[in-house]
Amino acid sequence: MKKFFTPVKVGIVTLVTIAGLVYSLRSVREGAFSAADTYPVYALFNNVLGVATRSRVSMAGVEIGYIESIELQEGRARVNLRIHKSVSLFRDAEIAKISESLLGDKLLEISPGRDREHPLPVGGRIENTYEEKDFPELFRQMDAITRDIRTVTESLSKTIGQMDREDSLGGVIRNMNRIADNVTRLTERVNQVFDTGSAKVERILEDVSGISAGARGRYGEILDNIRDVTRDMKALVANLNDIVGRGEGDFKESVGGFKETLKKANRSLENLDQITQKINEGDGTLGRLVNDDRILNKAEGILSDVSSITSPIGRLQLLIDLHSEYHVNKNAAKNYLALKLIPKSDKYYMIEVIDDPRGDVEVIETCNDTSRDCSDPANRTKSITVRDKFKFSLQFEKRFFFLGLRFGIMENTGGLGADFFLFNDDLQLRLDLFQFGKNEFGTSAAPRLKAMLVYRPTWLANHVYLVAGGDDFFNGRKVFDYFFGAGLSFTDDDLKGIIAATGVPNP
C-alpha cells in the first residue's frame, strides 16, 4: 500500500503543476485582460523611469488595464495601453505617472474626462499627461540653480571690479563728490549775498540820517515823519539781521553735518573697494567662490554622485510578510517572518526567519571500541540532539511573466524554488526544493520537496492570504506532512498610514 500511494502523490503533484503551467501560459499570453475585452490607446511621456511593461493601469485606485508596450517616438516615450471595454475615455481624458510608494515605484492613473460628447477613439492618444518630479529631475533643477548663482557672482565681480564705469560704485562715489563741491560753493555764495545786503542797508540808513539833519530846521513835520520811518526801519533791519544770522548759522551747521556724512560715506566706500579688491584677487572664502571654478565643479560632482546613489534607493519598495502553518502530523505550528526588498516589480530579495517544529538537529557519532573497525555501523553510537533554534533563508527571485524562479539559502541549506502565478496573481503555486544529499539527521535522503498553494484574493487588498500544501514528498510517510495556515503582508505605504494615524511612539 505504501508503494502504491507514493507514486500516486507524485503523479497528482505533477498533474497539478502541468495544469497550472498550461493555464499560466495562457493567462500570460492574454494578459490581465484578454485582447477581446480591451481596446488600445496610447500616451506620450518625457520620462517613463520606474514604469515597466505589463504594469497595471488604474482609475480611482481600481485596475482597468495594463501597459502593452513602451517604445521611443520622436525623442519621447510612447506608452501603449490596453483598457477594458467597460471603461469609457473621452477627448479630455488625463493620465498621470504617480508614485505607488514612498520608495519610488510608479504606476499610471487615468481620469476619464468630462467631455462626454466626444469619446476617445480606439487607438487614440491621451493628450493630457502629468509626470511627478523624481529625484534625478530635482537634482537637475538644483544644478540649474547652481549655474544661476555662478552667473550672478560673475556679474557682481564685473560690476564691482570696473570702477571707471559711471554705473559702478566708482561712478557713484565721483557723483557724490561733485554734489558735495556744489553744495560748498552754494553756501559760500549765500554768505556773500548776505554780507552785501547788510552793507547796502547801512548806507541807506546813513543817507536818511544826513537828509534829516539838513532839513531839521525847516521841515519839523518831515523830520518827525522821518524819525518814525527811521525807527521802523531800524526795527526792521534789526529783525532782518537777527533772522539772517540765525538762518546762516543753521544752514552752515546743516552743510557741515552733510559734509561729515559724506566723509563717512567715502570711508565706507574705501573699505568696500578694499573688500572687492580682495574678492577679485581670490582672497577669503567669498573670493575663492567667485574666482575658483573648481569649487563649483566639485559641488556639481557631489550633486551628481548623490543623485546616482539615491536614484536606486528611491525605486526600492519594502514588504513585510508574516504567516503560520499548522503541520497536522507534527501537531505543531511553523512560523515565518520575511522581509522583501523590491527594487523592481519583476524581482526581489528576501530575508526570512523560520521557527520550525522539526528544530535544529545535531548528530554526533562516536566509536564504541577503538580497537575495532570504527567504520562498522555496529561499532558506532549515534547521538541526536534537537535544539529549538531559528532557521534562516536568503533568496533572490526573478519573475518572467507568470513564472518566478528563486535560488539561495532555504532553511539553512542551499535550494531552488519556482512560483507559478495564476488567476491574475490571486492564486500562486509555490515549489521549494532543498536539503540535497542528506537530511537534517545526517543520513542519505532524497531532496526535500515542499509544495504549497497560496490564495491571495484582491477583495482583501492582497494583505491577507491562505496557504495549504505538503512537505517532504520524496522521503516517505514518516517525514511527510501536510499543512494549512494563513498570513499577513503589508508594504511601506501601509507603515506610513499606520504612523500617520497613530503617531510615532515615544521611548
Q: Which residues contact 495 (CB under 8 A, 6 or more apart)?
A: 318
**Measured distance CA(38)–CA(173) in Å, rounded:** 77
* 8 A C-beta contact, residue 399 and residue 346: yes
Rounded average pLDDT over 329-354: 90
Rounded average pLDDT over 316-345: 89
Rounded average pLDDT over 106-120: 89
Is the per-residue pLDDT at 164 higher than 80? no
**Within this chain, do residues 107 and 171 fall inside the same structural domain, yes or no?**
no
The answer as to whether 305 is a domain residue is no
- Grid coordinates in use for 157? 565681480
Is the per-residue pLDDT at 284 higher than 90? no
**Measured distance CA(473)–CA(452) in Å, rounded:** 12
Q: Which residues contact 432 (CB under 8 A, 6 or more apart)?
A: 410, 415, 416, 417, 448, 449, 450, 451, 452
The answer as to whether 473 is a domain residue is yes
The answer as to whether 306 is a domain residue is no
The CA-based angle 42-48-52, given to 5 degrees, is 80
**Within this chain, do residues 58 and 115 fall inside the same structural domain, yes or no?**
yes
Query: What length is written for the chain?
Result: 507
The answer as to whether 343 is a domain residue is yes
Torsion of CA 204, 209, 214, 216, to 10 degrees: 130
* 8 A C-beta contact, residue 449 and residue 472: yes
Q: How confident is the model at residue 52 (pLDDT cuts 50, 70, 90)?
A: confident
Q: Which residues contact 96 (CB under 8 A, 6 or more apart)?
A: 108, 109, 110, 111, 129, 130, 131, 132
Select from 197, 194, 198, 200 the least CA-distant residue to 247.
194
The better pLDDT of the pair 219, 373 is held by 373
Residue 372: its pLDDT value, please? 76
The answer as to whether 170 is a domain residue is yes
Is the per-residue pLDDT at 29 higher than 50? no
- Select from 109, 130, 151 the last residue of a domain: 130
**Within this chain, do residues 225 and 325 fall inside the same structural domain, yes or no?**
no
Range of the domain at 439: 316-502
Residue 35: its pLDDT value, please? 72
Candidate from 238-252, 262-276, 355-369, 370-384 with smallest mean pLDDT: 238-252
**Within this chain, do residues 273 and 189 fall inside the same structural domain, yes or no?**
yes
Q: How confident is the model at residue 106 (pLDDT cuts 50, 70, 90)?
A: confident
Q: How confident is the model at residue 130 (pLDDT cuts 50, 70, 90)?
A: confident
Is the per-residue pLDDT at 306 higher than 50? yes
- Say if residue 500 is exposed, middle or buried (CB neighbours under 10 Å; 0-12, 13-18, 19+): exposed
**Measured distance CA(237)–CA(239) in Å, rounded:** 5
**Within this chain, do residues 477 and 362 fall inside the same structural domain, yes or no?**
yes
The better pLDDT of the pair 367, 276 is held by 367
- Grid coordinates in use for 297? 565643479
Rounded average pLDDT over 269-285: 66
- Grid coordinates in use for 167? 554705473
The answer as to whether 287 is a domain residue is no
Q: How confident is the model at residue 18 (pLDDT cuts 50, 70, 90)?
A: confident
Q: pTM score, two decimals?
A: 0.40
- Sequential DSSP letters for 388-411: ---EEEEEEEEEETTEEEEEEEET
**Within this chain, do residues 168 and 119 fall inside the same structural domain, yes or no?**
no
Residue 133: its pLDDT value, please? 66
Rounded average pLDDT over 495-505: 65
Residue 492: its pLDDT value, please? 77
What's the Cα-to-Cα distance from 428 to each of 15, 20, 448, 453, rounded to whole Å? 16, 9, 20, 6
Q: How confident is the model at residue 406 (pLDDT cuts 50, 70, 90)?
A: very high
The per-residue b/e assignment along 35-72, b for 16 or more CB within 10 angstroms, e otherwise, is eeebbebbbbbebbbbbeeebbbbbeeeebbbbbeeee
The per-residue b/e assignment along 410-421, b for 16 or more CB within 10 angstroms, e otherwise, is bbbbebbbbbbb
**Within this chain, do residues 177 and 272 fall inside the same structural domain, yes or no?**
yes
Rounded average pLDDT over 243-252: 51
Residue 301: its pLDDT value, please? 67
Residue 400 backbone class (left: φ over 0; alpha: ψ -120 to 50; beta: rest): beta
What's the Cα-to-Cα distance from 493 to each of 58, 347, 501, rounded to whole Å? 17, 19, 12
**Within this chain, do residues 390 and 453 fall inside the same structural domain, yes or no?**
yes
What's the Cα-to-Cα distance from 18 to each of 14, 34, 397, 431, rounded to whole Å? 6, 22, 21, 13
Q: What is the CATH number of the domain that holds 446?
A: 2.40.128
The answer as to whether 155 is a domain residue is no
- Select from 280, 306, 338 the last residue of a domain: 280
Calculate the average pLDDT of the chain.
76
Is the per-residue pLDDT at 446 higher than 80? yes
* 8 A C-beta contact, residue 400 and residue 21: no
**Measured distance CA(25)–CA(144) in Å, rounded:** 49
Residue 219: its pLDDT value, please? 44
* 8 A C-beta contact, residue 451 and residue 429: yes
**Within this chain, do residues 256 and 338 fall inside the same structural domain, yes or no?**
no
- Select from 110, 130, 150 the last residue of a domain: 130
Is the per-residue pLDDT at 338 higher than 90? yes
**Within this chain, do residues 345 and 490 fall inside the same structural domain, yes or no?**
yes
Is the per-residue pLDDT at 413 higher than 80? yes
Q: How confident is the model at residue 162 (pLDDT cuts 50, 70, 90)?
A: low
The better pLDDT of the pair 264, 448 is held by 448
Q: How confident is the model at residue 252 (pLDDT cuts 50, 70, 90)?
A: low
Split into its structural domains, the chain has a count of 3
Rounded average pLDDT over 220-249: 59
Rounded average pLDDT over 122-149: 79
The answer as to whether 31 is a domain residue is no
Q: How confident is the model at residue 83 (pLDDT cuts 50, 70, 90)?
A: very high
**Measured distance CA(472)–CA(478) in Å, rounded:** 10
* 8 A C-beta contact, residue 274 and residue 113: no
**Within this chain, do residues 471 and 422 fall inside the same structural domain, yes or no?**
yes
**Within this chain, do residues 116 and 174 fall inside the same structural domain, yes or no?**
no
Helices 220-280/284-291 angle, 10° precision: 70
Residue 193: its pLDDT value, please? 65
**3-class DSSP assignment, residue 183:** helix
Give residue 375's Cα distance to chain centre.
Answer: 66
